[in-house]
Amino acid sequence: MRKSRRAVVLAATIFGLGPFIVGCAPDVSQVPPGTLQEIRGIGSVQAESSLHIHEDTIEVTNLFVIDVDGSSVEDAVDTAVDLLQARGWRSLGKHPDLVGMTSAKWDAYATVRAFDSEELVHYPDVLKALKVMSAETEHSVIVEVMANYGEL
């Protein structure tokens, strides 16, 4: 049990809420840290963040804006896909605005799309970081990665 969880359980026990807290801890669905390192390795990370969706479990989606040094916006997506495929990721096919990919090694699913600030509506911290950095994004992609939910 991690220290922070122990502290919550201890505090809850002291205040008489122990059974309530211990029995209600949600499951967390997220990719292993090695997955994130592998994604970071395809280029120069300009910004990253995560989004936690709370339902029966906490589902963590990690988002990266990565400069992959493509010659154009379209080439950036192809370059990112090629770099991920070289690391064992498998393409699930190209849709009009994204490429879906999966990794058996990490049991993870990812999407790769050309940079478009409108795609970052749920990640205002990323938009702010890019603005502060005055980041050039014409050679960048947006990669979102999450735990895989069965065979794709």
pLDDT digits (tens, 9 = 90+) for 11-55: 444 444 444 445 566 687 888 999 999 999 999 999 999 988 777
Q: Would you list the domain boundaries of the chain? A: 1-25, 31-147
pLDDT digits (tens, 9 = 90+) for 54-113: 777 788 899 999 999 888 888 999 999 999 999 999 999 888 889 999 999 999 999 999
What's the token pair of residue 33? 């840290």
